[in-house]
Structure 1
């Protein structure tokens, strides 16, 4: 049995442990895999229209219970209750998208040149395992589970150890929507038990959203056992501002983007790369906004208050990255402070003068820190953007759209955006390249990952 702490709810605003949940026993893990296997035999044979109707009911429940769901994750990972409710509503939209469009996305297609004889069928694989993170407790699960359930796969879900209540709430939604027993299961598994499940032949594929370290472990286990895997890992996305006719508005957009989920976003704008012509005014505008931020009191607040990070340990780790940069010559313009504890509040910060000798240059800063770089040419911006080993997303802004497009085309990322922080929607694919992982979620590509794309050929 694992020696790590059990699944538990620890309020990041106070450091108080509210509730603990025991790890699953090995017998319970075995039972979950066997139930998933047995449920798959019937679920895959259920007409897709019936599968979609059940998933659509789950989508409605996400929306109906949004306020309640938001309060749950406020105490689990610190998100404002209104933000948590918004996340639950978006999860409903994602789930509804796959319920509505699943039949057409999974339809057979003729192989060109062989009409009437050769088709590509899109069939389920079997039980699939999802290992999900804490930063978006509902959204991350919805984008994994919804397409797989519509496709006819069965789902075993291992959530983050600090999300036992929200993961149970999701399982309850799918149960009340009408999923048959064993089609969706929430299990409080240990890391060792995850390895056991990946190795078991009853589990046919695995999807992980999380850290590089976790991704490496899961990919290694999946490769050893010849299992399909999707990985959505870290990011240090470039956010390039080539010019602007309203630098204060540009700074407001950049700051709001960086403060989303208190900076705990894989595809957040962690590296702001700004042309020297607007750099000074941009940094000054960001600094003004950072200095005006106040810590959240209670469950909710407006855009001038910030939530705690997920845990005290996360705040301390982020502070260490900032201290390393400052000790080597970087300038901290605002923020960066943490309290004496045990809460996890971290004052939003603006950092400039980061060089390759500093941890902040190559490491992901998973929190409310705006790191700003000055460049003099578009070529320099592209070189700096591509210098890190991450390749999740990126954005380029300019009053000259053609210029922004030319720069964005050169970004080594899975998602390139022009004049917007990110293209978003249930139908917009999400995923990266390089050390940000591989595979895609959301949109038509999201349902395509865990399928048997079978050739069916009839000689006529």
Structure 2
């Protein structure tokens, strides 16, 4: 089996790598396990923090080169790719600074002479990561996991093998030992064997609901800890007293950033009935004025390709089915007549419960518009999905908006702001969007043994 790197803007094959055989994979896992004692117990946390801080410096020093690699492998605009590298550096610095406090022993007053909670690393952790944010997704796992004393194994998406190699190289250049973080050059067919390997203690996955179910089932049989960050179909509620220009600007950014290929992107726009048509008109104008197709490496380009043709085809089929069921096609709805996986930014209005848009995640540049009669109806529409990752509420009445945010079934909700991940805040979902948390102190503690010590 070969892992291919293909430029989605041109269809050109950039590189090809032979996947590891089972013997090579098993040896890599064994070497990783052999590093655990040295890394977790003999390497002081202060040293581990310094090495992760070094990684931030390497990322910034190589920002242009790494951002270009992202753009070439999965089609992200060069401007967004540079921002992704910067955010990856930020999460490294954040945990290098705060990791020791997050993992410090907590003294507890009990009937003992001394009792406390300590956080000890679990061991070798497998990270199964997606292509849509190929650096950020990995570093938001790797920085806290390595600082906590764990060993990282990376099974990256098969269409970004060069990004995977570059991440491993960055960490090793920063001084992280060779076997403390290893990129596994394998396809999805070998993930089960890694999870079942006796040296692997836990798994984290960011990806589709289907992939999450499979990984969780295997890990469950092995009684191994999992953290799953899965799909999302985030609601973006706009009430009639909202700042409409601000909401429109955020709607365009949140829906079409990374060509809509984001779990936490706004996907379902739930609009108050009194401003419904006006919002659609303004959103259409903003979308059609903003996006110009071009080379992702050109800083002037605002419309980039989707990552793969099969993803575009699946999205287009969802759009066509909605139109067949009566959705209004406001703009877009077609693949551009040019080389590459370019899909026109699309808006579908008048969504009903009979359409795929009501139940499914649309992973691409398609905005879905729903009409709400009043705040309770808006929250009901927001919760009428199996997903629960993020969401946002836009209103001139922050108190009412906060009440709506509290009632939304999601791992996060932003009021008068675009939903986003932030190292300072926990990130994750409920329902079919997964479980567990990344980022903040919650994230660094996910892959630790929360141990109670009681002494008389």
Same fold (TM over 0.5): yes
User: Contact (CA 8 Å) 1:7, 1:162: kept in 2 or not?
Assistant: yes
Q: Deviation digits for residues 192-246 of structure 1, max 9, x if unmatched? A: 3210111111000000000011101100000000000000000001110112454
Is 1:299–2:297 an aligned residue pair? Answer: yes
Q: How does 1:153-302 map to 2 (within 5 A)?
A: 153-244=150-241, 246-292=243-289, 293-297=291-295, 299-302=297-300
2-structure distance, mates of 1:158, 1:380: 42
| TM-score for the superposition, normalised by structure 1 | 0.96
Aligned to 1:329: 326
Which of 14, 24, 28 is equivalent to 2:24?
28
CA shift, 1:311, in A, is: 0.9
Aligned to 1:399: 396
Matched residue of 2:348: which SS? Answer: strand
Matched residue of 2:275: which SS? Answer: helix
2-structure distance, mates of 1:240, 1:116: 53
User: Contact (CA 8 Å) 1:122, 1:453: kept in 2 or not?
Assistant: yes
Q: Deviation digits for residues 404-429 of structure 1, max 9, x if unmatched? A: 01111100101111111125422111
Aligned to 2:79: 82
Q: Deviation digits for residues 59-99 of structure 1, max 9, x if unmatched? A: 11112211111100111100011211110110000011111
Matched residue of 1:295: which SS? Answer: coil
Aligned to 2:377: 380
Matched residue of 1:59: which SS? Answer: helix
Deviates more, 1:48-57 or 1:186-195: 186-195
User: Contact (CA 8 Å) 2:382, 2:408: kept in 1 or not?
Assistant: yes
1-structure distance, mates of 2:212, 2:254: 26
Deviates more, 1:390-399 or 1:355-364: 355-364
User: Contact (CA 8 Å) 2:265, 2:419: kept in 1 or not?
Assistant: no
Matched residue of 1:445: which SS? Answer: helix
Number of residue-to-residue matches in the alignment: 454
2-structure distance, mates of 1:181, 1:142: 16
1-structure distance, mates of 2:299, 2:369: 27
Aligned to 2:101: 104
Which of 424, 449, 452 is equivalent to 2:449?
452
1-structure distance, mates of 2:126, 2:395: 42
Aligned to 1:39: 35
Which of 349, 367, 381 is equivalent to 2:364?
367
2-structure distance, mates of 1:184, 1:49: 18
Unaligned runs of 5+ in 2: none
| TM-score for the superposition, normalised by structure 2 | 0.97
Matched residue of 1:390: which SS? Answer: coil
Q: How does 1:327-366 map to 2 (within 5 A)?
A: 327-339=324-336, 343-366=340-363
